[in-house]
A = this chain, B = another copy of it.
Amino acid sequence: MKLPQMIYKPRFAVTRASHVVIRVRDLQTSRAFYVDLLGFIVSDERRDVIWLRGLEEGCHHSLVLKLGDPACERFGMRVLTEEDLEFAKAHFSAAGFPTEWVEVEHQGRTFHTVDPAGTHLEFCATMETRPRLFHHVEAYRGAEVQRFDHAQILTPHVADCLAFYTGMGFRLSEYVVAPDSEEPVFVFLQRKGNPHDIVFAKADGPRIHHFAYTVPETVQLMTAADLLVRAGLAGQVEFGPARHFSPGLARFLYLRDPDGHRIELFPSHYQTIDIEDEPIRWQAPDFLIGGWQTPPERWFSEATTFA
């Protein structure tokens, strides 16, 4: 596979994956799952929406639960400055994607758009802040989720997404090519210096396969699974704890929330910042998604559609 040229000095600075907005059928059921079992902090809530953040996060929200038919409403990314936001909007428009300024509670100026996969995106430069609870050990509960890290999008158009995102300055950290060709079927793209902000995998789409949060240590992967079993939700522990030997390299646990949305928990990952860091190449099927564990069929086939 011929890798696209990385753009190290993009015209505008996307900084990181920021948040996910999902629709859920029952807010109290979802609150019990995310807050009581996984340890999310409630930044704000009202009758039809709950704004959540991880223990280490100073931003107002990284996960927004809205009352509605289960779907993903938006995957949010951050740019650094308001000027970057203007440039970003212009970039999407110039590429032929519709963009629109929208009002979003608790966020600064925000625009909506889509990417070549059809991912429902929103970008903003700022958000209200809340206290980081990183060292507030008394606030740690359940799986003790720390911060939002990345999301994975399913799409038939992986190569297009790779080209589009690297064109915005995303860097490719790992990728998988098809068994019999050089077609990319899995690409990890990053801006914040670890392996991923957004991942694209080949499948029907656009759908969001999972969004991922960090937990403090390996033991919380087991604790999260234990907690779901104890809550009568054993069936929602989908895959793991195990390790992604390739691609990804990290330990993980995949859970399904009460509406079937998939969340990944993982304890740590590697730093990748330097210009000489070459993307790690894997070729299917010679890779081990779960190391010693085989993903269940539904981990491949099921995902959340966009609203």
What is the interface of chain A, defined by CB distance below 8 A to chain B?
A: 8-9, 13, 15-16, 56-59, 78, 80-81, 108, 125-129, 132, 134-138, 147, 192-193, 216-219, 221-223, 225-231, 234-235, 237, 241-243, 245, 249-251, 267-278, 288, 291-293
Contacts and interface: CB of A to CB of B under 8 A. Distances in A.
B15 A270 contact: no
A26 B294 CA distance: 29
A37 to B, nearest CB: 8
A15 B274 contact: yes
A228 B242 CA distance: 12
Contacts of A58: 270, 272, 274, 277
A276 B230 contact: no
Contacts of A251: 222
B56 A273 contact: no
6 contacts: A129-B277, A135-B249, A147-B271, A218-B218, A225-B242, A234-B288
Q: Chain copies in the assembly?
A: 4
Contacts of A226: 135, 137, 243, 291
Most interface-central of A137, A223, A227, A235 (chain B CB within 10 A) = A137
A124 to B, nearest CB: 10
Given A8-B81, A129-B277, A243 B222 contact: yes
Given A127-B276, A217-B218, 11 more contacts: A15-B274, A58-B272, A78-B273, A132-B249, A134-B270, A137-B223, A193-B193, A216-B217, A222-B243, A225-B292, A229-B243
Contacts of A288: 229, 234
Contacts of A277: 58, 129
A271 B59 CA distance: 11
Contact of A56 (B137, B245, B271, B291): B271
A251 to B, nearest CB: 6
B229 A274 contact: no
Nearest to A223: B137
Nearest to A108: B276
Given A138-B231, A278-B129, A268 B271 contact: no
Contacts of A249: 132, 134-135
Given A58-B272, A125-B275, A274-B126, A243 B9 contact: no
Most interface-central of A218, A250, A274 (chain B CB within 10 A) = A274
Nearest to A291: B229
Contact of A127 (B9, B234, B274): B274
The 5 closest A-B CB pairs, nearest first, are A237-B292, A137-B226, A135-B249, A229-B291, A217-B217
